[in-house]
Amino acid sequence: MCPIPGCGYRGFTGWWSGHFLTNHNSDGLRFSYGQCFDVSLEMSVPFLVLLAEDDHLFIFINKNVIPFGHALSVCCLRTGNLNWNFLYEMRATSKGNTKNSLQLKASVTNTREWRGLNPTEVFLLVPYAFSKSSKLTLNVSIERVADVK
């Protein structure tokens, strides 16, 4: 089921990117593999849609974990064709003290269907006190790596 509130799309995973490009183009952030991009995240927003240059669909998850902070992670909605693996890196810098930053490098979790806002096995925990505002800006990069088997 489509994660955008109010959208009732229930399609097969292989067409998620097409669905988002057709119906939610303004809701997604386009990016190119291997290039850093900024994600400006309202802390109340539970996820952002990231569309890669090859139309792979990624979900940037923001799970509020009371009383600790926000668990941030990335998953990819895709079919069983797993010829590619994806790695991501994200860095959050404190607005209160720019010398303080939190960083994570991890493999993107692949999923065939959207099952709601659950952080992946690996996530970056950003404590509430780290961001002095309701918005957090993160520097993110996602890389595509050929699966060698």
* Domains of the chain as residue ranges with CATH: 13-146 (2.60.210.10)
Other CB atoms within a 10 A radius of the CB of residue 140 amount to: 24
Contacts of 137 (CB under 8 A, 6+ apart): 38, 39, 40, 41, 92, 93
> What's the pTM value of the predicted model, to 2 decimals?
0.83
Q: Are 52 and 143 in contact (CB under 8 A)?
A: no
What is the SS3 assignment for 132? coil
Q: Are 131 and 41 in contact (CB under 8 A)?
A: no
**pLDDT 10s digits, 12-52:** 656 666 777 777 666 678 999 999 999 988 888 888 889 89
Dihedral sign, CA of 27, 77, 14, 50? positive
Low-confidence ranges of the chain (pLDDT < 50): none
- Tokens for 137, please give them: 């800006």
